[in-house]
Amino acid sequence: MIWYIGTFLVVFLTLVAAYASAYAAKQQMLERKATRRNYQFQFIPFLLFLTLCGVGLVFLLPALVAIEYGIQSFFIFNTVVLLASLLNGFLRIKRAGALLIDTGKIPQGKTFLWAAGFQLGSALVYTWGFFSDGIPSPDRLAKGLPMLVLLLTLAAASLVGGLGRTQFREKGICSLGGLLEWQKIKSFYWESSNPNTLTLELKPRSSLIFQRFGSIPIPERHREAVNQILNQYVQAVDT
């Protein structure tokens, strides 16, 4: 039980650190008021996600440990999900139509690159420990390789995120492997205290609490072009 609690704490602290790092990175690049407003809509879903992770670790991991190759199957499943997500992200960019303008790297890029370095370092340490006593037996390979593959896949996913760019395309805005379609944007405006911060107000998806605002730093040299694109696809509002 102590091992499970420790695992949960590691996951919890990692997620909290990632959340805080992303918040700090956005505050440096965006208008502070916009950052606080955006994140207040994300806070409750983030807590719900942490709760689900905790419940999953407490109830799922003991059951998997009791099954032969249960943990390994869990690692393989997560690897497949990550690879499918990466592939889906590339396909979304292809389906988003022609590139209208590329405004540069995403605000969270450095956070993702640090995460990629940490995960790659973890994979190297794991590999060194795994092969330190010579070539493992087939049974040990079957039990150890899924974890190594998952760490490398996580590092690759973080690297893709760190190198990701914000692109305005014919069908919407592409960022972090996602596509925000034009019809999902209710309105847009430029922050008065920071004219290079673009804020998008999204159409509500349900009665639950979801993020309704998103802000993007736009380099000054791209501001006019982005404004023209948004005026073409989205009805602007005055603030």
pLDDT in tens, the chain (239 residues): 444 455 455 555 555 655 555 555 555 444 555 455 555 555 556 666 666 766 666 666 666 666 666 778 878 888 999 899 899 989 989 889 999 999 988 877 888 888 888 888 888 888 888 777 777 778 878 878 888 898 899 889 889 988 989 999 999 999 887 888 898 888 888 887 778 888 888 877 643 444 577 778 888 999 999 999 999 888 644 44
Residue 187's nearest CA partner among 172, 173, 203, 171 is 203
Whether residues 150 and 171 share a domain: the answer is no
Whether residues 148 and 179 share a domain: the answer is no
Whether residues 158 and 172 share a domain: the answer is no
Domain count, the chain: 3
Whether residues 178 and 217 share a domain: the answer is yes
Asked whether residue 54 is assigned to any structural domain, the reply reads: yes
Asked whether residue 101 is assigned to any structural domain, the reply reads: no
Residue 198's nearest CA partner among 132, 58, 101 is 101
What is the domain extent for residue 75? 70-96+107-163
Asked whether residue 83 is assigned to any structural domain, the reply reads: yes
Whether residues 58 and 118 share a domain: the answer is no
